[in-house]
Amino acid sequence: MKVIFLAFANNSQAPLEYLAEEDDMLSEILSNRYKQGDYLIHRESFATPESINKSLNRYRESIAIFHYSGHAGQNKLLLNNGYAFAAGIANQLKHSANRNTLKLVVLNGCSTYDQVEILKECGIPAIISTNAAVQDKGAKEFSIRLWKNLVDDMPIEDAYKDAIGAAASVTPQDLSKSYERHLFTDTQQDGDIGPLWRLDCITENAIQAHPIPCRPKLPSNLPYPNQELIDTLYTSFRDAGNPEIVELHEREQNGRTVTDGTKQIAIVNSIPFPVGIHLQKLICPTAGITDEGYDSFGNRRLEQIGQLFQTATEFLGMVMIAQVWEIYIQFPKDFALNFDLKEKLNEYVLLDKNRMEVYDYMPLIKDIRKYMYSFKTTVNALSEFINNQEVLGDMNFFDENFLEAWCYLVNIRTRTFNNKINEDRVTTICIEAESKLCIFMKFIGFIHKYHLTSIQNIDILKLRHTERSTTAYKHRIIRCMQALGKDEWNYYYINFFLDNWGMLLLRCNVKKIGNYKYNAVVTDYLNLSPFIIDRNSFVDKADLADIMFFKGENENQIRFKKVKSPLNQRDFYEVNMHETEEDRFDAIRRQYTAFKDFISY
């Protein structure tokens, strides 16, 4: 089994206050993965030259990471009763490097950079060292954050950069030199010569590696992909009163068979298309090259879990943004955003296209919801309107388990988007990610209540001999709630008009009066434009919806992406900020301009 080698050495003449704490914390950080059998930990809290040599020989071909913390200098480490010189350490570590076992050496003592060259000559692929004297407290914080990141499967470079920030935030350079890590026999090095720590490598790929070993799980121990997720969604949607799922459950209770395939189709066709299409790819992928790999453990499945989570949180986030704007539209004299919320919304719309794909919507959702609720205490039409917004109550999902799952899935999305998943642990991560996705999806089971619809056209039905009070409005509507099957378009006859060319969350009661024709009584609706649009609303004679999400702006254009293939650049679409010839998208442009005015400082 591969070994993580930890060596610590203090000195009676210049004791390091935080070294023992660092030793204990690293052991604690590594303990869970050790218990899972991923690696052995060799820990020397009071290292000597003799004990180091003995252990390096014992594990000569099995060392995955070598870490040293304590006093050090340009060409040696100061152990408890003598020196260990860099050349000797490097020549013993090369056996593990030659077998491609050793991925990283960390020399967390003062001025160790001069030891890097000999380590590289011996084939060590990545080395973290120091340029100058490092304060003891800063060294401890750097070490703890570095190892937390590595155990969480961050690549070496990302773990290192994050750890630099942690150290810099707690220990300014001008702290007492009595806690600096250096050999007291060496000449003191002063001055700032760039970053205190540095990361060196023999190839660029070496610092993109995941150095923490992982023991592959046996296939016989693995659960079936999707089983937990399907069971969770089926129960969650049933408990939330989804009519299709309730009907299937009653059939089962009456002794009739309901197949897994029937359950899967009912689940993915019960929720808004943007979420449903990515859930469908995960739990019931269609035959074909593009959908292969989503229902088996591997990178493709993990990427799709991340994409489903990101799309669902985008949808929830855009609903909240649309909601807060709707309150302003209804009550422009009584409602305005505070500076902090305006700042956050401006930062959001100006995100670049890559940052938008890993944006964490939770802080924004929390802030919007909290701010809107601050108006509930007033006794007026505004507070009554806010109290009646069911979506605000439905999004009360800030349970500790939910938030933990959300944070985990944000991390998964970021790592899969940046292609930084440890190949050795992908199966284990898939299993963990499905469990966290179950917690997330369970809490958003309410979304089946809100029908996503595209209003493609509205006709006024008023004849010369009829009273104006009997005027009806004929809405051509596409119901965007089917991940499998064709979109349903119908004519809804309503006694008032909804918003044209809009993507709406619609709640209504309908009664069929003919083929594709319904009388509809609308109980509530929320316009999601221009954050979610149907591109085909602006195209003549389009029978299908082409749903797109907002993807930020640049100097001249508003960017959108197709929800079905959000990372495919060929499916991106840009609306010019200024009207051009043959331009059909003035409604989007005008709404976006109005929203920018709403959030302007």
- 40 or 79: whose pLDDT is higher? 40
Integer Cα distance of 183 and 20 in angstroms: 18
pLDDT of residue 466: 84
- Checking if the pLDDT of 595 tops 60, the result is yes
What's the CA gap between 362 and 365, in Å, rounded? Answer: 5
* 530 prior amide bond cis, ω within 30: yes
Neighbour count for residue 206 (Cβ, 10 Å): 20
pLDDT band at 75 (very low <50, low <70, confident <90, very high): confident
Of the segments 106-110, 172-176, 208-212, 419-423, which one has the largest average pLDDT value? 208-212
Q: Which position has the higher pLDDT, 236 or 189?
A: 236
Query: What confidence category does residue 582 fall into, taking pLDDT thresholds of 50, 70 and 90?
Result: low
Cα separation, 447 vs 460, whole angstroms: 31
Give 143-155 pLDDT, tens digit per residue. 999 999 999 888 9
pLDDT at 509: 86
- So what's the pLDDT on residue 177? 34
- Residue ranges of the chain that CATH labels 3.40.50.1460: 3-208
Confidence of residue 168 (pLDDT cuts 50, 70, 90): confident
pLDDT at 380: 76
The answer to which of 174-178, 514-518, 540-544 has the lowest mean pLDDT is 174-178
Tell me the per-residue pLDDT of 230-247, one tens digit each, with 9 for 90 and over. Answer: 999 999 889 888 888 999
359 band by pLDDT with thresholds 50, 70 and 90:
very high
Over residues 262-278, the pLDDT tens digits come to 999 999 998 899 999 99
pLDDT of the residue at 290: 63
Question: How far is Cα 434 from Cα 358, in angstroms, rounded to an integer?
Answer: 19
Q: How confident is the model at residue 183 (pLDDT cuts 50, 70, 90)?
A: very low
Tell which residue, 298, 168, 297, 279, has the closest CA to residue 234.
279
pTM of the predicted model as reported, rounded to 2 decimal places? 0.74
pLDDT of residue 476: 87
Give the residue with greater pLDDT, 309 vs 393: 309
For residue 110, what pLDDT is reported? 77
Distance (Å, whole) CA 234 – CA 546: 28
> Cα(165)–Cα(553) distance, rounded to whole angstroms?
30
Mean per-residue pLDDT over the chain, rounded = 85
- pLDDT for 486: 72
Cα torsion angle, 314, 320, 324, 330, sign: positive
pLDDT confidence tier of residue 351, bands split at 50, 70 and 90: very high
Confidence of residue 496 (pLDDT cuts 50, 70, 90): confident
DSSP, collapsed to helix, strand or coil, labels residue 536 as: helix
**Span 11-22, pLDDT tens digits:** 656 667 788 889
Average pLDDT over residues 105-122: 87
| Average pLDDT value for residue range 293-311 | 92
Indicate whether 533 pLDDT > 90.
Answer: yes
Q: Is the pLDDT of residue 404 over 60?
A: yes
SS3 163: helix
Task: Say if CB 263 and CB 244 are below 8 A apart.
Answer: no
User: In which band, very low, low, confident or very high, does the pLDDT at 176 lie, cut at 50, 70 and 90?
Assistant: very low
Residue 339's pLDDT is what?
Answer: 94
pLDDT at 287 (0 to 100): 60
- CATH of range 3-208; options 3.90.480.10, 3.20.20.140, 3.30.1490.20, 3.40.50.1460: 3.40.50.1460
Rounded-to-10 torsion of CA 546, 549, 554, 558: 50
The band of 398, judged by pLDDT with boundaries at 50, 70 and 90, is low
Q: Reduced to 3 states, what is the DSSP secondary structure of residue 339? A: helix
Average pLDDT over residues 400-414: 90
Q: Specify the pLDDT at position 15.
A: 65
Which SS3 state, helix, strand or coil, does residue 435 take?
helix
The answer to whether 391 and 316 have CB atoms below 8 angstroms apart is no
Which of helix, strand or coil describes residue 109? coil
Would you place residue 175 in the very low, low, confident or very high pLDDT band (cuts 50, 70, 90)? very low
- Residues 563-590, mean pLDDT to the nearest whole number: 87
Three-class secondary structure of residue 541 per DSSP = coil
Instruction: Report the C-alpha dihedral over residues 479, 480, 485, 491, rounded to 10 degrees.
Output: 20
Does the structure show a pLDDT above 70 at 490?
yes
Q: What angle do CA 113, 80, 111 make, to 5 degrees?
A: 15
66 forms bridges with which residues in the sheet? 5, 105
Q: CA 76, 82, 83 angle in degrees (round to 5)?
A: 15
